Structures are given as C-alpha cells and as structure tokens.
C-alpha cells in the first residue's frame, strides 16, 4: 500500500524543519545568589573548564567599584550591585557586556577588613519582571527591568539599627510572592516574610537564642526546603539552625550542637548558609567546627540530642564562608583554605579530602556540566570533576580579587571581580 501524498509531504516538512531549525539546548536563568534552585547547581551543558585573562573570555566590563555580591541573570539581562566610592549603585548589563543603566542607591558604603567586603555584599534577586536589592546600609528596594523604582524603605528605620561586626550581608530569599529575610544581630533577632510587590510585612517572628557576643551575628541567607511533601524556611545563625512554618513564621524545630556549650566560643558567627536536598539538610558552622547532616522527616522541637533526626555529624572541617554543595548523592565542603571534602550524602562517609588552591576562599562552590567550580580570592578558579574520585581538571586565573560566587546562564560563566565583570565561554 502506497503512502498518501499528504503524509509524504508532512514527513518531508518535518524533516526539513528538524534540519533547518535544530532543537536548542534548554538554558537556565540565574535569578539569585545560588542560582535557580538556591543550591549552587546549574543544568547548563558545554560550560567552559579552562580560561585565562584573555583565553576563552567573551568580554570584560570594567565596574564602578568592588563588591562581593553575585550577579544575577535573566535571559539577556544581568543585574548587579556595586560600590562607587562612598555610594552604592545597581547596574543593568546586557549579555553582550554593555551597561544599559546605572541607578544610584544612596550613600552609606563601608569597607570591612580593608577591602574584603562592603555594603554591597547581599546579592539581588529577580523574577523576570522585577529586581529586589538589599544593602548593608539598610536599603531594601524593588525596581523594574527599565530601572524604575517600585518601592523602597530602610530596614534600620522600620526595625532596629544593625549592630554586627562585619556588616549586614545576608541576602534576602525571593520565593513565590514573598521575600524572606533574617536579621540576626546584637540589637535584634527576627525573621521576616514580606510581600514582594509592596514590601509590606506579612509576618515577623522573634527568634529565641541564648547566643552571646559575636555569636549572635549571622551573615548566612535563608533557604526554603521543599521536598517529599515537606516545606519550611531554614534560618541559620546565633548558634542554631531553625525551621519555620512558611504561613506564619512559627518555629517547627531547631538544632544546636554547633557551638560547644562546654567550651563556648563568643566569636562563632555563622557566614556559610545551609543547603538541602530531599531528606537531607546540611548545617555548617564556623572556625573548623562541626557540620550536621539532618534528617528533617521526623524533626520536631529541639532535635539537638535526638539521634534519629541526624544522618551524620562531622566534628570538624566545616566551611567557614563558602556554603555547602549537594549533587548526585554527594556533599561537597570547600573550606576557606581551599581544602575540598567530598562526602556521601546519606552516611557522611568521606570519599576524599584534598587541597585545591592554597588561598582564601570566600565564594561558594558551583556545579555545572559534571564539574565543581571553586573560586579563591586571588582570582583563581579551580575546576574539579564531580564524583567520588578527586580529579582536578584545571586551574584558571584572571589575577583580580574575587569574593563573589560564579553565576552560570546560557552556557556562560559570569565572574565578578573587584574590578570587572567577565563573561567566560558560552554558546
């Protein structure tokens, strides 16, 4: 039986379309500090492993000043905050490396430990229509993609003045129609849910703590756990990891065991943020302290001394600033000295502990395309093959200071140094 002419015609058109218009690889936006899932992972393919100041660099854009905040990307738009002398600004850049606009965000910049950090430490967030910005000066604001201000207010005036050693650097978490913030410092210990469209308060929770001195100060950022029919907000700081109901902020459970009460450290501030995967919450601490692998399924109340709620515990080797990374059943911990640990996510079994680059690491590790990217402050990015066996693929440098975590979108790595924004590799 001969095929009907219209069937042959349809088949030929289909083949022609497949040849002429090949299916494009799906790309992801990078809408916040730790990417689309807030965990430092990217689904992009074809991401560069090797580069230098000139090799494999699409473009380099000089910036008005330094900042540790990470750039965010939505389609062909990039947004980033920056210091500009004593002032602070929000920039919009296109993916061709051209500045579209620069908005002044007021004065109030400050430097921490000379130039290690400043008031532009928190990273912005976007939903594809608006951009939300928080600064160490207390500013919290919303802008549209054309740079028009939608709303703004001063957190230090609405709540209490910030009182912490190294400035307010926690990034707000955009989730659905809300912004979640943690303000944990000497003057105040609160968790907030705000309406992203207006900035109005939805709820405020006073978070209890018995922490003292600098241990009351948190530089970590919130994380929403949403796996296996469970959802809650994770808040890290002031000696505890706490889980909160998204509806009203009430505390569901908490874990201590991070700052030893028998040899209490008054300067045990948390900088690194928690991260989670299905059935696992990884809670780091500080200063070579413990790391907790928490099983949240049965967690309720104070779980500090409840063995059934822990998959594993490490007594030392926490990251001090870089946040943990979980991918494909493995947990990666990058210590501030460049030592990388790889653990089994279920058991905490150590697969390796290897030094990568012996310089200070402030940026959080990022996973993409089978590779782990570790960024040191001297501008060196070590690329390690993901998996149980340690294999260093490359070490690349732009020879400029970096505290910002890498952002990946459209197959391109965006590196923000204290001098410039780099676009590396890409499709």
What pLDDT score was predicted for residue 18? 38
Would you call 298 helix, strand, or coil by DSSP?
Answer: helix
> What local confidence, expressed as pLDDT, does residue 116 receive?
76
Q: How far apart are CA 390 and CA 178, in angstroms?
A: 40
pLDDT at 294: 98
Separation between Cα atoms, residue 83 and residue 87, nearest integer Å:
6
Say which CATH number the domain at 130 has. Answer: 2.130.10.10
Q: What is the pLDDT of residue 15?
A: 38
The pLDDT of residue 10 is: 41
pLDDT of residue 112: 85
CB 81, CB 69: distance < 8 Å: yes
Query: What domain range is 320 assigned to?
Result: 27-425
Question: Within a domain: residue 11?
Answer: no
CB proximity list for 259: less than 8 A, separation 6 or greater: 211, 215, 239, 265, 268, 285, 289
Q: How many domains does the chain have?
A: 1
pLDDT given for residue 5 in this prediction: 45
Asked if residue 60 is part of any domain, the answer here is: yes
Q: What pLDDT is recorded for position 17?
A: 37
- Asked if the structure places residue 80 within a domain, the reply is yes
The per-residue pLDDT for 220 is 98
pLDDT along the chain (427 residues), means of 10: 45 39 63 98 97 95 97 98 96 98 95 82 98 98 98 98 96 98 98 98 98 98 97 98 98 97 96 98 98 97 97 97 98 98 98 97 98 98 98 98 97 97 88
**pLDDT for position 278:** 98
Whether the CB-CB separation of 425 and 412 falls below 8 Å is answered with yes
The answer to whether position 256 is within a domain reads: yes
Decide if 61 is inside a domain: yes
CB 88 within 8 A of CB 105: yes
Residue 222 covered by a domain: yes
Residue 82 lies in a domain: yes
CA neighbor of 103 nearest in space, from 69, 137, 144: 144
Q: Is 278 within a domain?
A: yes
pTM, two decimals, is 0.93
């Amino acid at each position: 039986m001969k095929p009907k002419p219209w069937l042959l015609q349809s088949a030929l058109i289909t083949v022609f379309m497949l040849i002429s218009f090949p299916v494009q690889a799906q790309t992801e936006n990078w809408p916040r500090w730790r990417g689309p899932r807030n965990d430092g992972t990217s689904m992009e393919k074809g991401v560069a492993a090797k580069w230098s100041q000139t090799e494999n660099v699409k473009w380099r854009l000089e910036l008005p000043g330094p900042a540790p905040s990470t750039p965010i990307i939505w389609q062909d738009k990039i947004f980033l905050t920056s210091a500009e002398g004593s002032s602070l600004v929000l920039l919009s850049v296109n993916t061709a490396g051209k500045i579209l606009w620069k908005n002044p965000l007021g004065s109030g910049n400050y430097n921490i430990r000379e130039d290690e950090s400043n008031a532009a430490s928190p990273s912005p967030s976007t939903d594809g229509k608006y951009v939300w910005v928080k600064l160490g000066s207390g500013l919290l604001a919303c802008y549209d993609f054309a740079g028009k201000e939608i709303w703004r207010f001063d957190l230090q005036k609405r709540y209490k003045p910030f009182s912490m050693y190294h400035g307010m650097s926690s990034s707000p978490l955009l989730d659905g129609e809300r912004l979640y913030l943690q303000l944990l410092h000497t003057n105040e210990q609160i968790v907030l849910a705000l309406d992203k469209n207006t900035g109005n308060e939805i709820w405020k929770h006073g978070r209890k703590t018995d922490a003292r001195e600098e241990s009351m100060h948190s530089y970590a950022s919130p994380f929403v756990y949403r796996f296996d029919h469970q959802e809650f907000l994770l808040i890290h700081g002031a000696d505890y990891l706490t889980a909160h109901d998204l509806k009203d902020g009430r505390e569901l459970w908490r874990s201590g065991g991070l700052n030893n009460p028998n040899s209490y450290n008054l300067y045990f501030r948390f900088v690194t943020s928690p991260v989670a995967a299905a059935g696992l919450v990884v809670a780091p601490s500080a200063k070579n302290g413990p790391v907790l692998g928490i099983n949240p399924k049965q967690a309720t109340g104070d779980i500090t001394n409840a063995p059934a709620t822990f998959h594993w515990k490490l007594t030392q080797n926490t990251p001090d600033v870089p946040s943990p990374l979980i991918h494909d059943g493995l947990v990666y911990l990058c210590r501030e000295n460049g030592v990388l640990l790889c653990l089994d996510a279920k058991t905490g079994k150590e697969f390796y502990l290897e030094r990568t680059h012996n310089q200070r690491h402030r940026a959080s590790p990022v996973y993409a395309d089978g590779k782990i990217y570790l960024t040191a402050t001297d501008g060196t990015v070590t690329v390690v093959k993901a998996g149980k066996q340690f294999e260093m693929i490359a070490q690349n440098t732009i020879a400029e200071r970096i505290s910002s975590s890498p952002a990946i979108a459209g197959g391109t790595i965006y590196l923000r140094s204290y001098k410039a924004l780099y676009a590396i590799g890409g499709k």
